[in-house]
Amino acid sequence: MRTTTLGSKGPETGVIGLGCMGMTFAYEMKAPRDDATSVSVIHQALDLGSTLIDTADVYGPYTNEELVGRALAGGRRERALLATKVGLYVADPTGGPDNSPLIVNNGRPEHVRQSIDESLRRLGTDHVDLYQLHRVDPEVPLEETWGAMAEVVAAGKARFIGLSEVTVEQIERAQAVHPVAAVQSEMSLWTRDALDEVLPYCEQEGIAFLPFSPLGRGFLAGRFTSFDDLPEDDFRRRLPRFQQDALRANLAIVGRVREIAERAEATAAQVALAWVVAQGRFVIPIPGTKTPKYLADNAGAADVQLSAADLAALDALPAPQGGRY
């Protein structure tokens, strides 16, 4: 796979990474786990060059890090650029909407210091390559949280630290304390907010940008044509863009992506990912999957070369109907 680096000063990695959340923390709350297949998918990702492996302590909670740790055992740890996160936790497994987990912020420095040790134990390693603040805690000054993250680097427990879902102003505040290596936020053909300010700033400062949900939670890959295609307990049933009227309108976006994919002799997912990769030098999408077929398809996007006309056509796609959440 073609490679880039984690920002201007970071290590080399494939231009497409792997998000592991869905392996234990799926959109379908009651979906059965298949740990053996998930482990094999992580192994396959490394073999294909998708070396950025992204997890978080809140996924599961905790079970996702344990799974990734098992997958990277036996000599594979050094082949991965291992990323995890801190700053969210499950306060009540069934206390959220529709009996979903109630997830809350915790950016207190003592929580960061304790959580890194617990994450390292679950991951079976003495350090992570990228430790990310999952969300800024509005109750804790960012400088205090980020200072604790910097202590993690000073202790040798993380090589680099990053932020998730932040503004330029928040990145600047963190930068004043310790360099920000990466920013992770949602970005795709139907979520382009980061293109206005955050991504240009990251590009200017040599900060890596890691888009999550680069396939629009599977929609841009053409996997859904109706609200009824979503399983009964699927989290996406609560999202505005997946409601029947909005979904019907948004299918026009997928149709245009498919047209370009046919011309490029690629899949819709590959075109959607190739557009994301084309947005900057250090843009590394982390599509999530637990399926070998989809993993291979996603990795193949690294070889898709979109023409200037194709990129312009994708840039001109209409905004989706419905908000993100």
Active site residues: 59
Handedness of CA 35, 325, 214, 251 (dihedral sign): positive
Q: How far is CA 36 from CA 30, 48, 80, in A?
A: 18, 18, 19
Angle at 156 between CA 185 and CA 203, to 5 degrees: 30
Strand locations in the chain (E) = 3-5, 12-14, 18-19, 52-54, 81-86, 88-92, 102-105, 128-133, 158-164, 182-186, 208-212
For 312, counting Cβ atoms within 10 Å of its Cβ (0-12 exposed, 13-18 middle, 19+ buried), the class is exposed
- Residues 6+ positions from 12 with CB-CB distance below 8 Å: 3, 4, 5
Per-residue DSSP letter, 238: G
The position carrying tokens 């053909």 is: 189
* AA letter at 282: F
Cβ atoms of 217 and 22 within 8 Å: the answer is: no
Task: Using alpha carbons, select from 152, 153, 149 the residue that is nearest to residue 166.
Answer: 149
